Structures are given as C-alpha cells and as structure tokens.
Structure 1
Amino acid sequence: MQQDKQPDYRPVVFRDRSAGYAFLTRSTATSDRTIEWDDGETYPVIDVEISSESHPFYTGKARTVDSEGRIAKFERRYGEEK
C-alpha cells in the first residue's frame, strides 16, 4: 500500500442542522470549517441535510400508505359492474 496515495482518515464531526444533532466519527471527508467538541478538541465539521435523528423512518414519523384502502377505492370506482 502506497502511503502517499491514501486519503487522511481522521476524526470528523457530522452535524445535522435541522435536528440540532452532531456526532463525532472517523472519516476521510474534508472541510475548512471547524467546531470545538465536548472534549475541548477542535475538529472539522461536515453539515448534512438529514441524519438518523431527523429521518422520518428512524424517528418513527414515517407515513404509512394505506394500500388496501386505495385498492378498495379503485375497485369501487372503476370495478366491474355486475
């Protein structure tokens, strides 16, 4: 493995601005903006549009489609007339 060809793998903070949630992880992503974390260290910060804190599927706020009701409505409207 050539050392000069590999991206730098370091701690980075990912921040979900819509949910006010941030987490520290390791990544090769780069950013010129920084944030001071809870441990007093300064890390690069990457703003993301959606994370597990704001995604409807993970928060339990996902809408479920009532497919049975739609099928019944379709059949009532356009079904065979007997």
Structure 2
Amino acid sequence: MQQDKHPDYHPVVFRDRAAGYAFLTRSTASSDETIEWDDGETYPVVDVEISSESHPFYTGKARTVDTEGRVARFERRYGGPEQQGGREADR
C-alpha cells in the first residue's frame, strides 16, 4: 500500500444527541472537540443528529401511515379478493 495516499483512520466517539448515546469506533472523521472515554483515553467526538439508537426503523417505533385507507381504496378501484375469485370461476 502506498503511504500518504489514504486519510488518517483513527478512533472517534460518535455521540447521538437525541438518544443520549455515544459509541467508540474507528473513522476518518475528525473534530476539534474531545471527550474522555471510559478507558481513560481522550478521543475526538463527533455529534450526530440520528443513529441506530434513535432512528425509528431500528427502535421499532416506525409508523405506517394509512391515509384514507389506501388498501381499501386500492381494492375498490382494482377489485378485492372476492372479485378475483369470481373471475377465476369464469375460466
């Protein structure tokens, strides 16, 4: 591998402000702000708005919005299971 071609890859703490959660990982991200971690070392800290701790998909709090009964409207427009069965009997 050629030297001086790759960015500096170092330990960084990412802090999710919404969830109050922080995790230590390796990254090329940098920050002027630092934090003292549980192991007594000081690492740069990068604040993020959302992570897997606060994202609705990962937390199971995702909502499915069914405005105006989309399934019912689809079945009225294109025929529901009861109409599908009638067509099968004609064949």
Q: TM-score range by the shorter chain?
A: 0.7 to 0.9
Q: Equivalents in 1 of 2:71, 2:23: separation in Å?
A: 43
Q: Could you say what secondary structure the match of 2:4 adopts?
A: helix
Let me know the Cα RMSD of the aligned residues. 2.2
Aligned to 1:33: 33
Which segment is superposed worse, 41-50 or 57-66? 57-66
Q: Structure 1 length normalisation: TM-score?
A: 0.80
Amino acid at match of 2:12: V
Q: Could you say what secondary structure the match of 1:4 adopts?
A: coil
Q: Equivalents in 2 of 1:33, 1:44: separation in Å?
A: 6
Q: Equivalents in 1 of 2:70, 2:5: separation in Å?
A: 55
Equivalent residue runs for 1:1-80 within 5 Å: 1-66=1-66, 69-73=69-73
Q: Structure 2 length normalisation: TM-score?
A: 0.73
Q: Equivalents in 2 of 1:44, 1:3: separation in Å?
A: 24
Structure possessing the higher radius of gyration over alpha carbons = 2
Gaps of 5+ in 2: 78-91
Amino acid at match of 2:3: Q
Q: Equivalents in 2 of 1:47, 1:28: separation in Å?
A: 14
- Runs of 4+ aligned structure 1 residues displaced above 6 Å come to none
Percent identical pairs in the alignment equals 87
